[in-house]
Amino acid sequence: MKYLDEFRDPVLARWLLDAIRRRVSRPRTIMEVCGGQTHSLLRHGLVEELAGSVELVHGPGCPVCVTPAEDIDLACRLAQRPQTMVASFGDMLRVPGNFGSLLEARMGGNVRLVYSPLEAVALAARQPQLEVVFFAVGFETTAPATALAALHAQERQVSNFSLLVSHVRVQPAMEQIAEAPGHSIEGFLAAGHVCTVAGFASYLPFVERYGMPVVVTGFEPVDLLWGILECVRQIESGQARVANCYGRSVRRDGNAQALDLVEQVYEICDRPWRGLGVIPRGGLRLRPEFAALDARQRFASCHVSVTSPAPAHPPTECAQECRAGEVLAGRLRPDACPAFGTRCTPEAPLGAPMVSAEGACAAYYRYRLAGTAGSSA
């Protein structure tokens, strides 16, 4: 795959690293918003390479990490409801709620891993005797696909399909971080995939309001270094603009068709983020016209009629020890958490960021600690 190799070119990466080091007058602090970027930065050793020049603060852009535990609990209860199947992306399966994960609910329940929300609609159409609930999580990137599933189900009158919507919007979370007193962030690397849908123009008001550069950045090492260099250039010259360093994917106004799908099906709402609290305008919910597809309404009685299973780990203990909220807000580096790698590992996670493929704790574990003498595994 030549296309990817160009963006992993060691010579170009070295050149960019040198350019960044030369450009900074003192160590700069930049937040990469997306968990996919965090993983790539660690996988390619860029966090270490940039130490002393740029401190990368890892942002909240891991959708399954910020999905509220209560939503996971509801999904688990639905999975164990008779004649009900919960379909979800694989990444969601191992994330613990207050009373275990969907993977644990699979024993005695019905949980199905799907690669596309439309697959869940097809499952429902094939098995009319089953209630099929799709657990719709993710940022602006996945919302168009789940919106399409809602429209398909409505058009084809697949009445046994519904959505448990837990979609989140990334910009309100960035606003919350930018407004937090005492933060040291000087610029943001915006998530390339989210901007592919939303467009980079959506950040213009943000930049104006907070006076910090926002650089739309991709996921390969050269993409990331290019984005960091652009961010550093702006910081050093006292500028704050929106720059697009992921031009092969992102356009000014995004993907109009995808945005239109989201607009048709969802409306903006306040949403609790796991570890971060309620973020105003931080989520999406189904519009009233799609109320018939809303699993929360359809199974409203599920909260009371089905008793919760005995907790696998007492929730209070997790809540006390896990500092995922600080990690997600960029206030705590994963390896500075006292439980990291000892009482909290991917095999026995205390919090969602240690589980997800986009979680910052999982990235630190996977690329720094896995299998070493320091880990308890």
Partner 1 sequence: MKGPSWLPACPTPTMPDERLLLAHGEGGRLMRRLIERHILPPLKNPWLEALGDAALLESLSGRLAVTTDSFVVWPLFFPGGDIGSLAVNGTVNDLAVSGARPLFLTLSLIAAEGLPLAVLDRVLASVAAAARAAGVAVVAGDTKVVPHEACDGLFITTSGIGTLTEPLLPGPAALHSGDALLVSGPVGRHGIAVLCAREQLELTPPPESDCAALVEAASSLQQSAIGLRAMRDCTRGGLAAVMHEWARASGCTLLLEESALPVTPDVRAACELLGLEPWHVACEGVLAAAVPGEACQQALQALRRCAVSSQAACIGQVVARRSAPVVVRRALGNEQPLDEPWGSPLPRIC
Binding site for partner 1 (CB under 8 A): 1, 4, 8, 10, 13-14, 43-46, 48-49, 115, 221, 346-347, 357, 366-374, 377
Here the tokens at position 205 are 């008001």
Residue 221 or 254: the one with the smaller Cβ distance to partner 1 is: 221
Cα three-residue angle 96-99-104, rounded to 5 degrees = 65
Residue 291 or 377: the one with the smaller Cβ distance to partner 1 is: 377
**Letter string b/e over residues 316-329, b meaning 16 or more CB atoms within 10 A of that residue's CB:** eebeeebbbbbbbb
Smallest gap from residue 346 Cβ to partner 1 (A) = 6
The continuous run of DSSP H or E covering 191 comes out as strand 187-191
* Crossing angle of the two packed helices 10-23 and 221-236, in degrees rounded to 10: 20
306 CB-near residues (< 8 Å, 6+ apart): 77, 80, 81
Residue 4 or 310: the one with the smaller Cβ distance to partner 1 is: 4
Contact 350, 323 (CB under 8 A): no
28 CB-near residues (< 8 Å, 6+ apart): 53, 54, 55, 186, 187, 231, 232, 235, 236
Residue 213 or 341: the one with the smaller Cβ distance to partner 1 is: 341
Smallest gap from residue 89 Cβ to partner 1 (A) = 11
Here the tokens at position 315 are 């929730």
Residue 206 or 246: the one with the smaller Cβ distance to partner 1 is: 246
Residue 43 or 252: the one with the smaller Cβ distance to partner 1 is: 43
Smallest gap from residue 35 Cβ to partner 1 (A) = 11
Contact 245, 218 (CB under 8 A): yes
Residue 17 or 170: the one with the smaller Cβ distance to partner 1 is: 17
Q: Position 293: which residue type?
A: L
CA dihedral 134, 346, 335, 326 (to 10 degrees): 30
Smallest gap from residue 17 Cβ to partner 1 (A) = 9
Here the tokens at position 283 are 């989520």
Q: Using CA atoms, how far apart are residues 367 and 346, in angstroms rounded to an integer?
A: 12
Smallest gap from residue 289 Cβ to partner 1 (A) = 32
Smallest gap from residue 370 Cβ to partner 1 (A) = 3
Here the tokens at position 275 are 């570890």
Smallest gap from residue 200 Cβ to partner 1 (A) = 24
